[in-house]
Structure 1
Amino acid sequence: MSSSKLKKSLLLRVSSFLFGAGASVAYADVANAQSDRDLENDEIIVTATKRATSLQDTPSSITALGREEIQNKSLVSMDDYLNAVPGVNFLDRGVGNNQVVIRGIALGFAERSTVGTYFGEVPLSNPIISTSTDIKLVDMERIEILRGPQGTLYGGGAMSGAVRNIPNAPNLSKVEGKVTAEYSRTEGANGSNGNVTAVLNLPLIQDELAFRVVGYRFENAGYVNLVSDDEIEARAAATGAPVALHQGMGGHNYTGVRGTVLWKPSDKFDLSFMAAYQKLNEIGRNEVKISLGGYNASALNTGKEFKSDDLQIYNLVANYDLDWGVVTSSTSRIVGQTADSSDLGRVIGWAAVGFSDRKKEGWIEELRFTSQFSGPLQVTTGFYYEDFESPENCCWRWTGEDPSLNPFGSPDLRIINSVATIEQVAVFGEATFEATDWLKFTAGGRWFDYERRDVISESGVLAAGSADLSTSESGTRFKAGVDIKPNEDALIYGLWSQGFRLGFGAAVPSPSVCDTDNNGLLDFTDLPLGTSQLQSDTTENIEVGGKFSLFDNRVVLNTAVYRIDWDDIPVGILGDNPVCNATINGGKARSQGVEIETGIQLTEGLHLQLSGSYVDAEFKNALVGQVGDRLPMSPDFNGYAGLQYDFDLYGKKSYFRADITYVGGFSTGNAIPTQSGDYIRLDLNAGVEFDKFDIRVFADNLTNEEDVTVSFFLDRGWRLRPRTVGLQLGYRF
């Protein structure tokens, strides 16, 4: 092999170890298009800073996974990869109920997101709803995970980081496509799993207009059994509702389609339009009763337990190259509806159902300018606007068959109809100044202004009352950094950054009932009554990191050390009287830790990835927990090791890889005694390509661990999906 080819091979392989094959694909695309250049200088490209930059030259903590790694590791959902990323914990509480925690910044279930999630240019982490939809990873270019506050470029909600899922764009030059079919079995499941995906790319006008369409169907069998026990039998006798006895609950399916049109009439201008639709249906729940062991739960037969989620995304992106900069406009429309129903008899002595039907719809516009100046100064600046509305109908209804056993006298226990609206505008900017070849400074800021209103109407025997809550706020957040590049193989950076999460309205308890001594404090406490307007909570991050390419790029090592102070956390205060509950800004916490990732080319075909993190997150005042106690929702340690061997099998390109993920133990709240996490998961994948065909076999959770991934209150929780073994066939053209 020639020297230049060897160097190219080394760079491609090393980049794929640590940052994902998508990074090496980007490198290869550049190398193929510019073969007359010195391949040693070509760079791995990411867009985390909203401009194309070298991953190794980007002064922040980022992990990137590309299309080959997504395929080789069988990644189709966020829970397949996020727990293997340093400093990240993914809480899967049943399909469609996910929560991403980065660097320990989280307090509990159903809280508003502290991590921004994106599909292409579209933000999915709604400022009103606590969870974001997990769109299936079909035909993806790469995934970027940004750790640390991203308040200047990504705004509210990205106060601890952001996850960006970037789909493949249409190919203007050739017809291409792929069809895959997969079959698998899950240990103890009621049936088999299967999925079909299809991708078709059609150039309509050569090198000018193309259309790319993606379709998929995923079906997964349920593996949780509803059984009887003494506790649920006693509830059945007291309420007159029968015990539910079913096998294989929690089965679900995803159906989706995505189409993108790209028009590039000149080198200066391009326009793309994407429309995507995904529908989720789940039958039953995959939640378990931990004390029963294994994959068992108990429930009353109070009606059908289910979950459904429909999501529509529309996104129009225009880019115009001014030579000295690029102007980008991204206009997004999001429409969705989520409905679910579950038995309250799992947790309390009622024959009742908990239900919710929630809609969301909104517009998002981002207009930005990314400079291409010839001098040492570069800027990214823009305008952001969002307008969301989310109506909901919920919450508790008695379903017992014998009305005489209903202690409330009415089936409508608590019915809530609410409408939440939010409107936000923001202006952001970031500038970098290259003082010398080895020294660069960065400064950024964001100004935002928002208004939120929650109109709540309650009825039923347990109604808490109606309310009309409003809040508004303007503010600024900033970022500053310096990076030093002593040579082309090393980068050392220091970063200070801020993040935030939008506030909300809160009901204020009645002073006549809850402040009888008129001292402005909640009776029997030294805390204020609260305010109807909760301001944004904030994070402030100090980070030092380094990125190194060693031994002729055979080893890549990236590391970061950080400290995040989390202030003005919204805190619920309970008074002596049950109606004297207040919410105030006042909680404080701190998270500090270290992250490390490395990729090593052991031999020509043997690649090793290693990563890990330590997160020390604790309460700093008694409003949110005992001072010095650890924050819930994320482990102290997590670690990952991946080994891939590329080889020829009778002249056919083949691979085998093993991935081991360790998630340390953690709490999900002071009132929940069962520990979550503390497990090791082993996944195996192997594949071979036959011209236009490929075959892949896989085994997820090979050792069939059944550890509790997330525990909930009152003996409830979720376990690792049992061992799943399968085969995938693919055809490319």
Structure 2
Amino acid sequence: MKKTGLKQSLLASVAAAVFGTTAGAQDAATDDADDSLVIETIVVTATKRATALQDTAASISALGGEEIANKSLVDMSDYLNAVPSVNYVDRGVGENQIIIRGIGLGFAERATVGAYFGETPLSNPIISTSSDMKLVDMQRIEILRGPQGTLYGGGAMSGAVRNIPNAPNLDEVEGRVSVEYSNTNKASGGNGNVTGVVNVPLIDGELAMRVVAYHFENSGYVDLVSTGMMEARAAATGAPVAVKEGVGGNKYAGMRASALWRPTDKFDATLMIAFQELDEYGRNDVQISRGGYEATALNTGKEYKRDNIELYNLVMNYDVGVGTITSSTSYVKGEEGDSSDLGRVIPWAAVGFSDLEKKGFVEELRFTSDFGGPFEFTSGLYYEDFESYEECCWRWTGKDNSLNPFGARDMRIINTLSTIEQKAVFGEATYEAADWLSFTFGARWFDYTREDDIDESGPLAALPTVLESSESGTRFKAGIDVKPNDDTLIYGLWSQGFRLGLGAATASPDICDTNGDGLMDGTQSSLGDAQLKSDTTENFEIGGKFSMAGNRIQLNTAAYRINWKDIPVGVLGANPVCSATVNGGEARSQGLEVEARLILTDNFTVQLSGSYTDAEFRNNLLGAEGDPLPMSPKYNGYMGLQYDFALADNPSFMRADLTYVGEFSTGNSIPTASGGYVTLDLNAGVTLGDFDLKFYASNITNEDDVTISFFLDRGWRLRPRTYGVQLGYSF
């Protein structure tokens, strides 16, 4: 490519994209540029139909399989913080939380972002976290920003993350195996993993199977140390201080098998079965005030986390000529567990624990039109049935029961059986009024019932209770798309999102409203309702997508304002036994997002992105009006540089990825700020025939900033600098 041609065409291309200059003028401006050097078209299915990313009127980020491999991405924590308006809260195995566009309030809240593996939901409408399936043999990742209430329903009130695996190949045998070793600074040992993929056509062009297996082990890097305070707690409880190096290591192993059957051009069916086991040995949180990677704990028993999940999914597509009928049937089953020393934060020789079993069935039946005219639509039926059973919470583990202030081993045991059933009807339609003008309208009607049967025992137990809730409603979406030319899309969007409500306990009027004014004494809140309605988001967005310099430059921008209403809020009365949860919170989030991709030369590619998020409270129930919402940085940014070259005629690459996460709080009661750091990752690789060799270094500057702070001086820090090498063989 002639470098001068790209430079000379840039201003003309910007003018063509923004002001709609003639195609002839734009072609003339790029005559001396190499037409073969263009940004590859990325096809996404975020709208539940295949569309080019640059033609999709929504704020979407997408990562392809090659980019996932070149960046050494393994799980969601490796990439989400580099995406505009996204904050990923990682508190170890089974305790992740995704915040998009500032819509989030704190730990353990029910999900505000929908997470999917293929067509299967990973986020559960009952519990607060979603499983993180590892990124092995992936086709692409899609991150949808903004409420997705019409197509994705409850729980996607600020966006959705879709991890899409590679489908079986009907035409050829292929596969890959890789081994990897890395070392983390301050860790107790090395890290290693083995992955394998094999694809076999069983009937050429008709039936194929793809099998994926992986095993990862990461060493711990947090040291448990003794302090004067912990020695005093040990003396008071009879439990020794825990002293150990390199805790918090983890292991995860998984297998996925997919079969694709396509007997005719009109019909195909894909069956996927996946299993994954994640275990963390000890806790990897730290005592923030000590600096570095040190923590304190009493030796009250084994500390661990685990998250095991099984996924079953059957997708069938039938082409009826004027469109495609799709059925997606999913069954999800899993177990989660954790145990942590309470002596880390309070003077008890006890553990806090949780053991949870979950299962769910989801069916979606939809029709996607292909009329070939100005009017197209997608419509469908949705059904889900989820159940979870959890046992928790505090158990005395000291050997000297005379030091137990409550006299019982099980101080507080809570058994909770939760069920939820939901039905929905949804649809989105697009009408192309002219070659340059389109309108979109969408709606979703939902109806759900939920029951939580809570039984408690022990000296600190509350009374057993049964909480019930049910609700139906409709959420909407409307948009307008303007395409002044083939390289420009400008859109306006109004959309709604929601999160299903739930039952809630109310405060007693006899002791909590002594003056009879209908308000909880000492507050401006009611005594609460037995049912909390769904909280909602309403999004106003304008965006633009521009291709310039002969599609060597892509620039995507979006500005938005989200109003969040009816947020569930816990209220405490003047009497300490009085509390209630009410739909009393309101918040507002507004911001700007920018993403750019540039091919500067035939070897050099640049990716840039950044966002500004201004999220704040709008009433006094959650915080003073104007106070910032927690859990989301005001600024984040990313720059990726990749240089492709030939090393002795062998395809090679080098890349650097720089990520900035701005500072943010995790709640008014937590003084330590989170975020405010920059990380630099390096990757380099060479392909030698069927073999490939890759070297990488993550967090190469060895930053140890706090990624998320918790209460009572606890928190998590960036994983220390890690060097690694990977050897792969493809066939």
What TM-score comes out, normalization by structure 1 length?
0.94
SS in 2 for 1:71: helix
Report the equivalent of 1:365: 363
Q: Deviations over 1:501-558 (max 9, x none)?
A: 0011111122222122333221232311000100000000000000000111121100
Report the equivalent of 2:565: 567
Equivalents in 1 of 2:436, 2:41: separation in Å?
17
Report the equivalent of 2:294: 296
Is residue 2:488 matched to residue 1:493? no
Aligned pairs for 1:231-380 within 5 A? 231-380=229-378
Is residue 2:142 matched to residue 1:167? no
Equivalents in 2 of 1:667, 1:77: separation in Å?
24
Equivalents in 2 of 1:729, 1:397: separation in Å?
46
Question: Partner amino acid for 2:238?
Answer: G
Which segments of 5 or more consecutive residues in structure 2 lack a partner in the other structure?
10-35
Aligned pairs for 1:563-712 within 5 A? 563-712=561-710
Q: For the Cα contact (< 8 Å) 2:38–2:552, is it kept in 1? A: no
TM superposition shift of 1:40: 8.8
Report the equivalent of 2:417: 419
Equivalents in 2 of 1:188, 1:516: separation in Å?
58
Question: Partner amino acid for 1:663?
Answer: V
Is residue 2:178 matched to residue 1:180? yes
Structure 1 pair 641–42 and aligned structure 2 pair: CA distance change class (3 A): closer
Equivalents in 1 of 2:524, 2:718: separation in Å?
44
Q: Deviations over 1:134-190 (max 9, x none)?
A: 110000000000000000000000000000000000000000000000000000100
TM superposition shift of 1:43: 4.6
Equivalents in 2 of 1:668, 1:411: separation in Å?
33
Structure 1 pair 257–42 and aligned structure 2 pair: CA distance change class (3 A): closer
TM superposition shift of 1:398: 1.0
Question: Partner amino acid for 2:687?
Answer: E
State the aligned residue count: 702
Structure 1 pair 614–41 and aligned structure 2 pair: CA distance change class (3 A): closer
SS in 1 for 2:289: helix
Equivalents in 2 of 1:318, 1:526: separation in Å?
53
Equivalents in 1 of 2:704, 2:522: separation in Å?
46
Structure 1 pair 41–81 and aligned structure 2 pair: CA distance change class (3 A): closer
Q: For the Cα contact (< 8 Å) 2:39–2:551, is it kept in 1? A: no
Is residue 2:59 matched to residue 1:61? yes
Which residue, out of 94, 97, 101, partners 1:96?
Answer: 94
SS in 1 for 2:434: coil
Report the equivalent of 2:395: 397
Equivalents in 1 of 2:691, 2:78: separation in Å?
25
Q: For the Cα contact (< 8 Å) 2:519–2:527, is it kept in 1? A: yes
Structure 1 pair 603–41 and aligned structure 2 pair: CA distance change class (3 A): closer
Which residue, out of 498, 509, 512, partners 1:511?
Answer: 509
Report the equivalent of 2:106: 108
SS in 2 for 1:500: strand
Report the equivalent of 2:386: 388
Q: Deviations over 1:98-153 (max 9, x none)?
A: 11000000000000000000000001110011010111000000000000000000
Equivalents in 2 of 1:95, 1:672: separation in Å?
23
Q: For the Cα contact (< 8 Å) 2:38–2:551, is it kept in 1? A: no
Report the equivalent of 1:476: 474
Q: For the Cα contact (< 8 Å) 2:93–2:307, is it kept in 1? A: no
Report the equivalent of 1:26: none
Q: For the Cα contact (< 8 Å) 2:188–2:245, is it kept in 1? A: yes
Equivalents in 1 of 2:57, 2:461: separation in Å?
52
Equivalents in 1 of 2:569, 2:271: separation in Å?
42
Which residue, out of 399, 404, 407, partners 1:406?
Answer: 404
Report the equivalent of 1:135: 133
SS in 2 for 1:127: coil
SS in 2 for 1:435: strand
What TM-score comes out, normalization by structure 2 length?
0.95
Report the equivalent of 1:22: none
Question: Partner amino acid for 1:177?
Answer: G
Q: For the Cα contact (< 8 Å) 2:37–2:599, is it kept in 1? A: no
TM superposition shift of 1:697: 0.2
Report the equivalent of 2:16: none
SS in 1 for 2:234: helix
TM superposition shift of 1:281: 1.1
TM superposition shift of 1:400: 1.4
Question: Partner amino acid for 2:240?
Answer: P
SS in 1 for 2:229: helix
Which piece of structure 1 moves more, 569-578 or 381-390?
Answer: 569-578
Q: Deviations over 1:639-695 (max 9, x none)?
A: 000000000000000000000000000000000000100000000000000110000
TM superposition shift of 1:605: 0.3
Q: Deviations over 1:63-84 (max 9, x none)?
A: 0001000000000000000000
Equivalents in 1 of 2:67, 2:39: separation in Å?
23
Equivalents in 1 of 2:260, 2:669: separation in Å?
52
Report the equivalent of 1:229: 227
Equivalents in 2 of 1:560, 1:724: separation in Å?
35
Is residue 2:715 matched to residue 1:717? yes
Which piece of structure 1 moves more, 502-511 or 631-640?
Answer: 502-511
Question: Partner amino acid for 1:44?
Answer: I
Q: Deviations over 1:390-448 (max 9, x none)?
A: 00110001111211111111111100011010000000000000000000000000000
TM superposition shift of 1:95: 2.2
| Percent identity between the two aligned chains | 68
SS in 1 for 2:81: helix
Equivalents in 1 of 2:644, 2:396: separation in Å?
59
Question: Partner amino acid for 1:228?
Answer: S
TM superposition shift of 1:586: 1.5
SS in 2 for 1:172: coil
Which residue, out of 546, 549, 557, partners 1:548?
Answer: 546
Q: For the Cα contact (< 8 Å) 2:141–2:164, is it kept in 1? A: yes
Equivalents in 1 of 2:605, 2:501: separation in Å?
46
Which segments of 5 or more consecutive residues in structure 1 lack a partner in the other structure?
11-37
Equivalents in 2 of 1:253, 1:41: separation in Å?
38
Structure 1 pair 707–41 and aligned structure 2 pair: CA distance change class (3 A): closer
TM superposition shift of 1:41: 12
Q: Deviations over 1:548-575 (max 9, x none)?
A: 0011112110000000000000000101
Which residue, out of 117, 120, 128, partners 2:115?
Answer: 117
Equivalents in 2 of 1:135, 1:41: separation in Å?
29
Q: For the Cα contact (< 8 Å) 2:450–2:470, is it kept in 1? A: yes
Question: Partner amino acid for 2:578?
Answer: C
SS in 2 for 1:404: helix
TM superposition shift of 1:44: 3.1
TM superposition shift of 1:453: 0.2
Report the equivalent of 1:14: none
Structure 1 pair 378–139 and aligned structure 2 pair: CA distance change class (3 A): same
